[in-house]
Amino acid sequence: MLSSCNESTSPQQSGFDRRVLLRYTAERMIIPAFTELKGRVTLFDDAIRQMILTPNPSSVANAQSAWINTYTAWQDCAAYNFGPAEFPSGNLNENISTFPASVSKIESFIDKSDTSFQNFDRDSRGFHAAEYLLFSGSQQVIANRFAQSSGSQAYLRSIVRDIRTQVDATLNGWQTTYKEQFSSDNSTATGSAISDLFNAMSMNFEVLKNFKIGVPLGVRAGQTQPEPTKVEAFYSKQSIPMMRTNFRNIESLWYGRVMNSDTQSMGGFENYLTTLTGGKELVASTKNQFAAVNAAMNQFRNDEDLAVLIEQNDPRVHTLHTELQKLTRFLKSEMSSILGIAITYSSGDGD
């Protein structure tokens, strides 16, 4: 009996130093991801300035490419929506990545020359408002709009400026004081660094499953039919590549991979779980389901339009949603239980 009791493991007794995981994640994943995003935002800002200066199909195409590159970089940051990413006006995800964009609000603010963003209409700014302005029409139509509308010029410039300000502030927060605060916290209590990291990763997964796929597919509670226009990146038709990048980042955070690499180290939830009772079994189950989700994602081409596939009731989309739903059990409820970490958000998904 004494031997059996000694083998009982809790997160506090496992001997795993969470500070190693946290420091690795901060230094090798979070800060590099926001550094990359900052660089992409700067290039995006430059492309917008050039397009407004000389609006033509070529400059529009360059601005569109810059948007795609920047929003792709954002997918590697979306799971780190805590700490310096929390602002008085809301968190970074809400402020710069709320979708779908509200066309009526955007056009109303442009008509009123209101670029203050002193409101909670987050669907009227951020990446998706910029996407609407850059992709809702042919490149010639977009060029004509910016040649003829100073209001559109000012509004788009303000959107990019706002994104840049918040991304810069988030990165600066990590690089100055928050990295040490985050990396030195060995607690598992609510509000601790490991709790914030787990909850942010889990919530980002829920956004992928529920809002990037579930809502457009029409399978959420209260929906009676698909709503394909609610996919992420509707105007640019980049829903599928963005979904892939987002999921790859969630996997990397779980595995402890260096950003955009297969290299692993002492960081990662996988290593942590293997030190806990039941953790090795959960790791095996999670890896199997990661593989199932990737197999479902690999059925899509990047140049396919997710909104069109949903309109056509393509079974591949339903299969992907089902596989993501299966992963929820391992990535959310069982993982939080074994780690001894409370889920501190409400996703409203019923699972």
Task: Give yes or no for residue 62 having a pLDDT over 80.
Answer: yes
Q: Model confidence at 10, in pLDDT bands (50, 70, 90)?
A: very low
Q: What is the mean pLDDT of residues 265-284?
A: 91
Instruction: Report whether CATH 1.20.1420.20 matches the domain 187-351.
Output: yes
Coil vs helix vs strand at 219: coil
Estimate the share of the chain in helix, then strand, then coil, as percent rounded to the nearest 5.
Answer: 65, 0, 30
Q: Model confidence at 298, in pLDDT bands (50, 70, 90)?
A: very high
Question: What's the CA gap between 146 and 142, in Å, rounded?
Answer: 6
As assigned by CATH, the class of the 15-184 domain is: mainly alpha
Q: What is the mean pLDDT of residues 74-103?
A: 97
Whether the bond between 100 and the residue before it is cis, its omega within 30 degrees of 0, is: yes
Task: Give yes or no for residue 123 having a pLDDT over 60.
Answer: yes
Per-residue pLDDT at 348? 47
Q: Looking at per-residue confidence, does 351 or 15 come out higher?
A: 15
Per-residue pLDDT at 9? 37
Q: Looking at per-residue confidence, does 62 or 221 come out higher?
A: 62
pTM of the model: 0.93
Question: What's the CA gap between 205 and 173, in Å, rounded?
Answer: 24
Mean pLDDT of the chain: 93
The predicted-structure confidence for 128-155, as pLDDT tens digits, reads as follows: 999 999 999 999 999 999 999 999 999 9
Per-residue pLDDT at 349? 44
Amino acid at 160: V
The predicted-structure confidence for 277-288, as pLDDT tens digits, reads as follows: 999 999 999 999
103's tokens: 């066309």
Per-residue pLDDT at 311? 98
Packing angle between helix 57-75 and helix 126-135, nearest 10 degrees?
A: 150
Per-residue pLDDT at 263? 65
Per-residue pLDDT at 43? 98
Per-residue pLDDT at 344? 86
Per-residue pLDDT at 8? 35
Task: Give yes or no for residue 350 having a pLDDT over 80.
Answer: no
Of 29, 38, 35, nearest in space to 200 by CA: 29
Task: Give yes or no for residue 96 having a pLDDT over 60.
Answer: yes
Per-residue pLDDT at 351? 42
Per-residue pLDDT at 16? 87
Alpha-carbon dihedral of residues 69, 74, 77, 78, nearest 10 degrees? -150
Range ranked top by mean pLDDT from 5-14, 249-258, 321-330: 321-330
Per-residue pLDDT at 15? 75
The predicted-structure confidence for 175-186, as pLDDT tens digits, reads as follows: 999 999 999 999
Task: Give yes or no for residue 11 having a pLDDT over 90.
Answer: no
Per-residue pLDDT at 195? 97
Query: Is the Cα torsion angle 106, 206, 244, 227 positive or negative in sign?
Result: negative
Burial of 149 (0-12, 13-18, 19+ CB in 10 A): middle
Q: Looking at per-residue confidence, does 265 or 201 come out higher?
A: 201
Amino acid at 10: S
CATH 1.20.1420.20 in the chain is located at 15-184, 187-351
Burial of 346 (0-12, 13-18, 19+ CB in 10 A): exposed
Q: Model confidence at 347, in pLDDT bands (50, 70, 90)?
A: low
